[in-house]
Amino acid sequence: MAEKRKFTIPIGPQHPALKEPESFSVALKGEKILGVEIKLGYNHRGLEKACESRTFIQDIYLIERICGICSHSHSTCFIQAVEEIAGLQIPARANYIRTLVGELERVHSHLLWLGVAGHEIGFDTLLMYSWRDREVVMDVLAELTGNRVNYGINTIGGVRRDISEEQIKETAKAIDILEERTKYYVEVAQQETTIIKRLSGVGVLKHDDALRLGAVGPTARASNIARDIRKDDPYAAYAELDFKVITDNHEDIYGRTVVRLLELMESYKIIRQVLEKLPAGDICVKAPRKIPAGEALSRYEAPRGEDMHYVKANGTEKPDRVKVRAPTLANVQSVKTMLQDRNLADMPIVIAAIDPCFSCTDRMTQVTDLADNSRQVWDWEKLRSHGIEWYRQRGVDFTALNNKLKQRL
Amino acid sequence: MIKELFYLLIFPGFLFISAFALAGEYIDRKLYARFQNRVGPPWFQPLADLIKLLAKEDIVPCDANANMFKLVPVFALTAAVASIIYIPLWQSSSIYSFPGDVIVVLYLLTIPTLCFFMGGWYSTSLFARIGSVRTLTQLFAYEVPLFMSILSAAVLADSWSIKDIVNFYNSHPGYLLFNGIGFVVSMIALLGKLEKTPFDIPEAETEIVAGSFTEYSGRLLAIFRLTLDIEMVVGAALISAIFIPFGLNFSPVPAFIITVIKIELVIAMLSLARTIFARLRIDQMVNFCWKYVVPLALTQLLINFLIKGFFR
């Protein structure tokens, strides 16, 4: 348009389109995007490291807090690895309850995504509607587990809460309401012109590109890759349940919207089957406090795609190493391809369409020295001493307290 | 002199139009909320927002041209307030009616948009600059159909004065039926002028924060927000006077009440449009306006020329 020369605008670390701090430097010519530089690492919390100094039981609750949306996914994935190392056989009822909570979580995550996508394209009515309906599933989760997020239902060897007959009836009722509402959203997505105009042909990720960049979850499935851990490598109760892997050949954001909406319908189907087939019996087996030495890799289909946890135990009650590969890490590379030569207006929705969760993804913080632009990664010791020094400069000094503590000990 | 000052500052000038604009914003926000199944704000919310903003600090960016940055909002507000003087509210004539006032109102309504552009441009922030360029791009897309649709109604009435247009349609209401296309076109153009969804591209918050207004805060932002509200009321009043002029020939009090109801109806239609559409991209918006809206406005103009030639 008016500006012919190239200029760079910063989307993030603080920007209304982003729900978490991350930085996208967008090189623009007029309204056209020439290139994008993605910088993560604003939200690194060092959870993997923190896991090593806590027991396995404590780690479940820590791991659950990796992500507020797919908390059950992370804790189940971690526990599956631990159970594999310990050689525990989980009761069937526990597996079904895990599946139930996992699917309810997928429902709430996809409805949340639908609202966010609506907001990013300036369609706030969709946001208000889908988040209102999301409250139904949040209430069910609160009823079943006691919490709206971070359910805390998993434990090594099974689950911590049983489900009563009455709760099954209530859940079935809620699923009926949600199914009806979701049908309405499918209709809206297929008929509303401005939605179709804003979503189709935007953020295109070709089948081959999706394979090459290792996309997972709905992002991959909308590029016609039938990749779903629930089918490929069944865990929990999925092997005994009947459901379809939804794929779509639109290869754009419209396809991703359709995939997520139809996956909601599949989730309702799975939840109904779980409620029907729920086997009787125990919900938990006794697990040893000390997990025998060994290592395991566990995979889980989180709402955003394949989640992967690696756990190494050394025979004590604390793990030797925990490694988390959140789905966003697999998908974030494809954003660059999707944004090439697109309009600035498509930027928020393209980023939102992979359903990013950056605090789950951050594994390190890179420090850029503004004076000479050099970059370095700090190790644990340096980070710790920097933290102590930072607080000391602001008048928070624990030296005296530490000395006192040393004398007492 | 006193009378003129009263007209300018109290009724129907600054004080009255500000109160009416805040009421209009309340109706818009409340309806928008109810359409979305939300509770919505209480009746005093727009006023509370205004007072809050007036009490806040004005921050002028270091690189900005400080004089322009501070003056531009005042220009915008002045133009918007001045335009109400030529709108008939309680009789078919406005206070200072003269032949050609419909053109003056349209021009006065364009000035705030130009001010949004200049405010964004002189604040030198990247987001504001992109927003201001978008404001101007959008202006070229909707301004032509807006002028054509309003003026085609004037062509049929054979006058450039709002008073004569209102009187003509009130004595020959049948002719109003031919202006249907013009009404739709001017509503679409008004959505663009007020930067409301689906045409809120210049201030798309998820892309460019707040567009032209990104660097504005405190009093200056309050003035801009009030300007937008006044523009909404004046635009709605103009459309209701030209396309649905009923009631203006009654005695002043019922005429005034009917006018207010009509303006609120137009605002309600704008809120409905805001509810059911997603935001378009700037290229889609320009395409839409030149491919569909301008031909529609031209059709309206042609229809009115033909009717005028054959029947009047």
Q: Say if residues B59 and B113 touch (Cβ distance below 8 Å).
A: no
Determine which of A342-351, B112-121, B254-263 has the lowest per-residue pLDDT on average: A342-351
Residue A110 confidence class, pLDDT cut points 50, 70, 90: very high
Instruction: Tell me: pLDDT of A122 over 90.
Output: no
Query: Which of A121, A131, A346 is most worth mutating to test chain B (most B CB atoms within 10 A of its CB)?
Result: A121
Is B287 in CB contact (< 8 Å) with chain A? no
Confidence of residue B309 (pLDDT cuts 50, 70, 90): confident
Residues A325 and A408 in one domain: no
Q: Is B174 within the bounds of a domain?
A: yes
Determine which of A14, A124, A131 to mutate to test the interface with B (most B C-beta atoms within 10 Å): A124
| Residue range A167-171: mean pLDDT, rounded | 90
CB–CB contact B36 A198 (8 Å): no
Give the gap in angstroms from C-alpha B48 to the nearest C-alpha of chain A: 23
> Would you list the DSSP string of chain B?
-HHHHHHHHTSSSHHHHHHHHHHHHHHHHHHHHHHTT-----TTHHHHHHHHHHHSPP---TTS-HHHHHHHHHHHHHHHHHHHTTS-SSSSS-TT--TTHHHHHHHHHHHHHHHHHHHHHHT--HHHHHHHHHHHHHHHHHHHHHHHHHHHHHHHHT-SSHHHHHHHHHH-GGGGGGGHHHHHHHHHHHHHHTT-TTS-GGG-HHHHTTGGGTT--HHHHHHHHHHHHHHHHHHHHHHHHHH--TTTTS-HHHHHHHHHHHHHHHHHHHHHHHHH-PPPPHHHHHHHIIIIIHHHHHHHHHHHHHHHHHH-
Q: Do residues A392 and A349 both lie within one domain?
A: no
Residues of chain A with C-beta less than 8 angstroms from the C-beta of B206: 16-17, 119-120, 122, 348
Question: Domain check: are A314 and A404 in the same one?
Answer: no
Whether the per-residue pLDDT at B41 is higher than 90: the answer is yes
The pLDDT value given to residue A1 = 43
Tell me if chain A has a CB within 8 Å of the CB of B278.
Answer: yes
- Using CB atoms, which residue from A121, A125, A345 is nearest to B276? A125
pLDDT given at position A99: 92
Mean pLDDT score, A112-125:
88
Cβ-proximal residues to B4 (8 Å cutoff; 6+ apart), any chain: none
- Write the CA distances from A39 to A36, A315, A332, A368, B274, integer angstroms: 10, 38, 11, 12, 35
Q: What is the mean pLDDT of residues A279-289?
A: 87
Per-residue pLDDT, averaged over B287-291, amounts to 89
Distance CA A98, CA A246 (A): 22
A15–chain B Cβ distance below 8 A for any pair: yes
Name the most confidently modeled range: A7-21, A188-202, B133-147.
Answer: B133-147
A251 and A390 share one domain: no
To the nearest 10°, report the CA torsion of A260, A265, A270, A274: 120
Which of B139, B140, B200, B207 would you mutate first to test chain A, the one with the most A CBs within 10 A?
Answer: B207
B7 inside domain: no
Per cent of chain B over pLDDT 70 is 100
- Is residue A32 in some structural domain? no
Residue A61 lies in a domain: yes
Whether A21 maps to a domain, the answer reads no
Please tell me if residue B136 touches chain A, with a CB cutoff of 8 Å: yes
We report the CATH number of the domain holding residue A84 as 1.10.645.10
Contact B130 A344 (CB under 8 A): yes
Going by C-alpha positions, the residue among B207, B152, B140 that lies closest to residue B178 is B152
pLDDT band (50, 70, 90) for residue B312: low
**Could you tell me what percent of chain B has a pLDDT over 90?**
24
* A319, containing H or E segment: strand A319-325
Whether the CB of A347 is below 8 Å from some CB of chain B: the reply is yes
Q: Which residues constitute the domain of residue A397?
A: 384-409
> Is B209 in CB contact (< 8 Å) with chain A?
yes
User: Are A350 and A395 contained in the same domain?
Assistant: no
Q: Could you give the maximum distance between any two Cα atoms of chain A, in Å?
A: 73
Whether A38 maps to a domain, the answer reads no
Say if B239 falls within a structural domain: yes
Residue numbers in B near A118 (CB within 8 A): 278
Give the list of residues 6+ apart from residue A352 with CB closer than 8 angstroms, or none.
A17, A113, A116, A117, A120
Query: Are both A398 and A311 inside the same structural domain?
Result: no
Dihedral sign from CA coordinates of A291, A292, A295, A299: negative
Q: What is the mean pLDDT of residues B271-289?
A: 87
pLDDT, averaged across chain A: 86
Predicted ipTM beyond 0.85:
no
Let me know whether A298 and A404 are in one domain. no
Q: Given CB atoms, is B178 within the 8 Å cutoff of chain A?
A: no
- Residues of chain A neighbouring B197 (CB-CB closer than 8 A): 122-124
Range of the domain at B30: 14-307
Query: Is B227:B77 a contact under the CB 8 Å cutoff?
Result: yes
Same structural domain, A343 and A226: yes
User: Is A13 inside a domain boundary?
Assistant: no
- Please report the pLDDT score of residue A31 as a whole number: 76
Q: What is the pLDDT of residue B226?
A: 92
Please check whether residue A355 lies inside any domain of the structure: yes
| C-alpha–C-alpha distance, residues B193 and B143, integer Å | 8
Residues A257, A401, single domain; the answer is: no
Residues A315 and A405 in one domain: no
- Could you give the number of structural domains in chain A? 2
- A212 and A284 assigned to the same domain: yes
Distances (CA, A) of A127 to A185, A232, A402, B36: 11, 33, 51, 9
Q: What is the pLDDT of residues B42-89, one digit of tens each?
A: 999 999 999 999 999 888 888 888 888 888 999 999 999 888 888 888
Please state the domain count of chain B.
1
The tens digit of pLDDT for each residue in A395-409 reads 888 888 888 888 887
Across the interface, whether the CB atoms of B205 and A125 are under 8 A apart is answered no
Distance, CA of A155 to CA of A374 (rounded, Å): 45
Give the DSSP letter of residue A157. T
pLDDT at A3 over 70: no
**pLDDT confidence bin for A378, thresholds 50/70/90:** confident
- The pLDDT of B249-272, averaged and rounded, is 88
Inspect the interface and report whether the beta carbons of B130 and A118 lie closer than 8 Å: no
What's the CA gap between A158 and A284, in Å, rounded? 4
- Regarding whether A348 and A399 lie in a shared domain, the answer is no
Out of B127, B136, B137, closest to residue A9 by CB: B127
Give CA–CA dist B121/B224, Å, rounded. 15
Q: Collapsing DSSP states into helix, strand and coil, what is residue A187? A: helix
Pairing of β A375-377 and β A32-39: unpaired
Residue A175: inside a domain, yes or no? yes
Nearest CB to A16 within list B37, B200, B206: B206
Tokens matching residue A249: 């050949």
Q: Is residue B107 part of a domain?
A: yes
- Identify the pLDDT of residue A5: 64
Q: Is B312 a domain residue? A: no
- Please report whether residue B3 resides in a domain: no
Handedness of CA B278, B279, B282, B285 (dihedral sign): positive
A250 pLDDT higher than 60: yes
Q: Judge whether A33 lies within some domain.
A: no
Residues 6+ apart with CB under 8 A from A123: A194, A195, B197, B277, B278, B279
